[in-house]
Structure 1
Amino acid sequence: MFFLFPFLMNAQIASKGVFLLNGTVEQMDGKYLYLSYFSASEKIIMDSSLVTNGGFHFKGHISQPVLAFLSKRNAKRWNASDTNTTSFFIEPKLLTLRFTNNVFGLPDLTGSDTENEHKELKRLRGEAASLLAPLNRQYEELNYRYIVLSKLKDSSTLLDLIGDKMDSLKEQTAPLSQRLFTIDTIFFRNHPHSIVTAHELTYTMNRLSPALFYTFYEQLGAEVQNSRYGKNLQLKMNNWKSGAMYTIASDFEATNPVQKKIRLADYKGEYVLLIFWASWCKPCRKENPELDSLYQVLKRNKANIAFIAIADDADSQDRWKEAIKRDKVELWQHGLSDRYQNDIMVLYGVSILPTKILIDPKGMIIGRYENDNNRALINDISRIYDRSGNDSL
């Protein structure tokens, strides 16, 4: 009976949907640790525990494995690169936490099968993730400077310098990102019913083909699909489908820079290229001259096409108007996507900037292009143009 006690205790705890987390940490006596997670009722719980004699304890109610965040500071939002914060998957069981080599960012949680799978994925990512992390931090810092400077006048020279550095970093990160993507997809195949797979698919789905994504989603099974991570995937899929290939484009109304309304329905009978961008988005700004060159060629050949640029700039409209002038794209149609009232980006399942969507005269989506590589877009438009002759696109 002695050997069965931990097993029976875990079974009893799980049946009540309770987790008990006991941990040890050095050099924090008299200080608090803060644990954040989603409860069984889907409420965000922020709990605290006073470290005493190197030990801390948490107890809570969860109905399924969830990702929890443990921090040395009390904050509503935590950054993944914050060395004062760590994360792991908890389950309704008896759990024990310590830190590898006493490093707070290296949690070693026992008792959670889901966290064991999470550890495996982190181990597989290993070298590629460690090489990518500092490059991503540099890119984020430069992007922040780019956004701040873009608000100022006469900052084009500095913006160009920062932009060149960002482009260089992007070239360095591309092969590492591809390595991680390959590692992730192999993990998804080897762990088709895992909560970790459902969680990570949220961040990977935009790089997967729809067919492969749906395959991974179906393999999750009903239990994981009904988890909070599975439901989140379903929500994203619904948004994704609304802007998917060979579906009818949803109508929308947006406000242009002179406070007039533009509607997609007004362009029925024409080809339409929707361009989702933002004044603060470096790749978007970089591709605008290329897209405008395409626009000018099409218009010189009297092509029957409208360019409608939808910007994620509802909170920075002056910067949006300035970017339109600076990038010399005033001849396009322009509108705002407001994430609080009129989120056209959500309507079309856009989560990456820039994204372009090509719509035919009957209102059907016939092309979707993400990021700033426009070769496929130009090829598709060229094929349509070649079929139609010089009088119309």
Structure 2
Amino acid sequence: MKFIYIILASILFNVSVFGQNGFVIQGKAAKQFEGSKLYLDYQRDGYSFSDSTVIKQGKFTFKGEVDEPNYARMILDSQGLGKLRTQNTGDRLYFYIGNENYNFNITESLKKVAITKSPLHESFVQYINFIGGDFMDIIDQGNAAFSAVPEDAVDKNEQYAAIKQKFDEKFDKRNDQQLLFAKQNPNSIFAVDALTEVANKRGTKIIETIFLDLNKSLQNSSRGKELAARIYADKNIVIGSMAPNFAQPDQQGKMVQLSDFKGKFVLLDFWASWCSPCRAENPNLKKAYINFKPKGLEVFAISIDDNNGREAWLQAIKDDDLPWIHAADLKGWRNDAAVLYGVRGVPQNYLIDPTGKIVAINLKQENLHKVLAEYIK
């Protein structure tokens, strides 16, 4: 039980980070990184924040504030390629950020940076070691393994299948450890993230009892409320249930409520400008809208773009020529409506009848037209 005690002690001590006014990251970097640009992405109050700085005389600094500790990403662009070209495959670091001080020392790479002075980071490392590795690190390992397979290999498909099986098993074992961690550490801020990842793979039923045993402050945190909403949605937002009402600002900032559509069939559609499957489905949705709009169909589209993606959202509406009503609170995956409905993937939609009852879920391609024809005469 010694390991468990260390985790708990670190987390309980870490409550003090909320008494500090913001975070400060003081960094040193080896000579070869002089002049390189660093990017930092994190969340505050449900919105995405991005910052950047340049390494000068072997030093760099970031300052900011978070409402609660959250998973952050730092990117080192040592080749001057820009953020877009380095954020997914370049030198990246994923870590937990809270309102405390951090000392970074970059020698070989950002991915191998030494971080000191942060009790939160120490606790995060212990958590990651306990469950079997960081999610994004494992994804990178899997992608590297796939890329290492020669394109002309005779047994290429067999190698791909073996790699997939290996990493599927790794993630399964990791989920088992996350469940164990949450059971043994009900006061840890990482317990909510552990259960969220398990729910992503295995559903919410398996984690509900463990979640309800967590410290109430964790259940009432932003991520705790999101997970509670998913548990509720999986049990209650189903075919035959009444669709929960909500309000979101449209493109001009005017609040639109789902209840505004009562008396009509409405397709509640969750999407995003960056979602390729969503964009690919838009022409089909537009065809259905044109055919059934005269018979009373409305489409209420909720984007899960974040505040950094507002222009991309508006441009996607214009480029795809989408004539229905659009809204977004620009909180990304923390969009209030998406959280309420337990949405964890897009595209996702709900067909709601004139009384406000959900009659169909996830209608796409030809099935969309077929089901609409059954209900809207």
Under TM normalisation by the shorter chain, which class is it? Answer: 0.5 to 0.7
Equivalent residues of 1:89, 1:118 under 8 A apart: no
Q: How far apart, CA to CA, are the structure 2 residues paired with 1:306 and 1:352?
A: 22
Letter in 1 for 2:325: H
* Deviations 1:137-193 (CA, angstroms, capped at 9, x unpaired): xxxxxxxxxxxxxxxxxxxxxxxxxxxxxxxxxxxx998986665344322344333
1:123-134 alignment runs, 5 A limit:
123=133, 128-132=138-142
Structure 1 residues not aligned, in runs of 5+: 1-6, 20-36, 52-70, 91-97, 136-172
Q: Does 1:118 align with 2:109?
A: no
Counterpart for residue 327 of structure 2: 336
Counterpart for residue 211 of structure 1: 205
Tell me, what secondary structure is at the counterpart of 2:227? helix
Shift in Å, 1:297 = 5.6
Structure 1 segments, 4+ long, off by >6 Å, are 101-104, 106-109, 111-114, 124-127, 173-177, 313-318
Counterpart for residue 54 of structure 1: none
Shift in Å, 1:129 = 3.1
Equivalent residues of 2:249, 2:327 under 8 A apart: yes
Change (3 A) 1:337 1:204: farther
Tell me, what secondary structure is at the counterpart of 2:73? coil
Shift in Å, 1:79 = 1.7
Q: How far apart, CA to CA, are the structure 1 residues paired with 2:93 and 2:372?
A: 52
Letter in 1 for 2:172: T
Q: 1:235 aligns with which of 225, 250, 260?
A: 225
Letter in 2 for 1:356: N
Structure 2 residues not aligned, in runs of 5+: 30-54, 65-71, 77-90, 99-104, 146-162
Tell me, what secondary structure is at the counterpart of 1:358? strand
- The alignment's TM-score, normalised by the length of structure 2, stands at 0.52
Change (3 A) 1:312 1:18: closer
Counterpart for residue 243 of structure 2: 248
Q: Does 1:364 align with 2:357?
A: yes
Equivalent residues of 1:272, 1:359 under 8 A apart: yes
**Number of matched residues?**
283
Equivalent residues of 2:93, 2:110 under 8 A apart: no
Q: How far apart, CA to CA, are the structure 1 residues paired with 2:167 and 2:354?
A: 37
Q: Does 1:324 align with 2:317?
A: yes
Counterpart for residue 301 of structure 2: 309
Q: How far apart, CA to CA, are the structure 2 residues paired with 1:268 and 1:132?
A: 47
Q: Does 1:188 align with 2:198?
A: no
Tell me, what secondary structure is at the counterpart of 1:283? helix
Counterpart for residue 36 of structure 2: none
Shift in Å, 1:286 = 1.9
Shift in Å, 1:236 = 0.9
Equivalent residues of 2:26, 2:62 under 8 A apart: no
Letter in 2 for 1:338: D
Counterpart for residue 51 of structure 2: none
Letter in 2 for 1:308: F
Change (3 A) 1:312 1:198: closer
Q: How far apart, CA to CA, are the structure 2 residues paired with 1:89 and 1:310?
A: 29
Change (3 A) 1:233 1:73: same
Shift in Å, 1:39 = 1.4
- The structure with higher relative contact order (CA 8 Å, sep 6+) is 2
Q: Percent identity?
A: 21
Equivalent residues of 1:272, 1:358 under 8 A apart: yes
Equivalent residues of 1:357, 1:365 under 8 A apart: yes
What is the CA RMSD across the aligned residues, in angstroms?
5.4
Counterpart for residue 267 of structure 1: 261
Q: How far apart, CA to CA, are the structure 2 residues paired with 1:80 and 1:354?
A: 28
Q: How far apart, CA to CA, are the structure 2 residues paired with 1:50 and 1:193?
A: 37
Counterpart for residue 153 of structure 2: none
